[in-house]
Homo-oligomer: A and B are copies of this chain.
Amino acid sequence: MIQDMTYEEIVARISHLLEQEKTNGIQVILEELQPYDIAEIYVMLSEEQRPKFLDVLETEQQASLIEEIDRDEQLELVEQINVNDLGEVLDLMDNDDLAHLLDEVTPDVKEQYLSGMTTEESTAVQKLMEYEAETAGRIMTNRYVWIPEQYTVRETVDKIKIFAEIAESINYIYVINNEKQLMGVVSYRDLILAEMDEKIADIMFSRVISVPVEMDQEEVASIIERYDFLAIPVVEENNVLVGIITVDDIIDVVIQEANEDIEKLSATGKSIDFDTKVWVASYRRLPWLVLLLFVGLISGSIISQFEETLQKVVALSFFMPLISGMTGNTGTQSLAVVVRGIVGQEMNKAVVTRLILREFGVGALIGITCSILLFIIAYVWQGSLVLSFVVSSSLVFTLIIGTLAGTIIPLLLSKLKVDPAIASGPLITTLNDILSLLIYFKIATVFLHHLL
């Protein structure tokens, strides 16, 4: 019984059957497996057995294998598929996955792949590829069920039976008029509960929530999340239905966007995971670090301008890491709140003002609390009232400024539609570094004669 076998056992069995050329036995196993499982098994097979295994797969299984496998191995796999079958395989692939694949090949190869496909599918995928990356148009599929307004429940159910196998989602059936405009939606559940002779127009839900093709995928995700939908229709101008986005793609979007936010906050560099090679990971991480190096030099040159002050009161340097560290962190805290909160939130004047005032309040409150604490500790440690005053009053200012920088800069960048990746953690941190050192040494210089 296949259901209790591990991948290793299944691979051993399939490998054995491949050697004996018992392809029927393999299909019996495959029928009990999910596309993801088949992909896992494929990569566990030896290089020699993989092409043989591919031959055993049905066209549809080949299509979903391509979809499931890691991006790096996709092209290699596609090349191993029989050229005569390839068009049919590509026809069966989800358009969004296929668009990704076609993005990676040369124009010649792309042309060759498209030429093997049916006109309908190749037109659809080429249209998809015209939309900007990370928009609704780019992640939608054309595998949905639509019906004309005048259908009855019976006619609808009959149509679903025909399309059940190829539709990506049969949870919602979209109702359109002669101009292909989206007029309503019926859930499968509604159909089950309706009488066969009822008119769709009478049972459909006409306040359909849809998204425009150009909407950012992150916004689409937040709408689906909010409404708990399994799919959402995508419309062009004039409410013309052009596709649907299904919830499984939305989960991928949510993960991708969260990773992007984390990359912004930690300046990790794009998509580094456990399997990324040393060279690639270093190359992706270096740009930020080199930038940091230069910003660190700016901090250094600020300190060097106060060389005299520092030479006279070396104790000032003891508190440098504390002040710049805390200012940097408070900025990152604010940044994280803004970066995560900004999505799906309408950023009108009232919201922005309230947020800035809130963060100002937070900066002041934590600034005052930490300052009092620091004043006491610094006095106990160094025994100088003036030094303690300089250090702790600097901290109040820098924490307020740090909080505001971490709030206002990402808001400003998002308002200016600048790539918010610029507003990443290290930028805020180093900016706050520079500001905090300036404030600290300015205050110290003013009180210098008292410190001596």
Contacts and interface: CB of A to CB of B under 8 A. Distances in A.
Interface of A: 1-3, 32-36, 160-161, 164-165, 170-171, 188-189, 192-193, 205-209, 221, 224-230, 247-248, 250-252, 254-255, 258-259, 261-263, 265-269, 272-274, 276-279, 281-282, 285-286, 288-290, 292-293, 295-297, 299-301, 303-304, 307, 310-311, 314-315, 317-326, 329-330, 332-333, 335-337, 339-341, 345, 351, 354-355, 358, 361-362, 365-366, 369-370, 373-374, 377, 381, 399, 425-426, 429-430, 433, 437
Contacts of A362: 278, 281-282, 285
Contacts of A269: 333
Q: Which of A2, A290, A293 has the most CB of B within 10 A?
A: A293
Nearest to A160: B192
B303 A321 contact: yes
A330 B285 contact: yes
Nearest to A324: B321
Contacts of A315: 304, 307
B293 A374 contact: yes
Given A266-B336, A278-B365, A310 B321 contact: no
A337 B273 CA distance: 6
Given A251-B254, A273-B340, 16 more contacts: A2-B207, A3-B208, A161-B192, A164-B193, A259-B340, A261-B262, A279-B365, A285-B330, A293-B326, A296-B326, A300-B318, A300-B321, A304-B315, A310-B317, A321-B324, A329-B429
B341 A285 contact: no
A160 B189 CA distance: 9
B337 A268 contact: yes
Given A247-B247, A248-B247, A370-B293, A267 B36 contact: no
Contacts of A300: 318-322
Given A318-B301, A336-B263, A337-B272, A189 B208 contact: no
A29 to B, nearest CB: 10
B265 A265 contact: yes
A192 B188 CA distance: 11
Contact of A361 (B254, B272, B278): B278
B314 A293 contact: no
20 contacts: A32-B205, A165-B193, A225-B248, A230-B230, A262-B336, A266-B333, A266-B336, A267-B329, A268-B337, A269-B333, A274-B355, A289-B366, A293-B322, A293-B326, A296-B319, A297-B322, A297-B377, A299-B325, A301-B318, A303-B318
A353 to B, nearest CB: 12
A433 B325 CA distance: 9
A254 B164 CA distance: 29
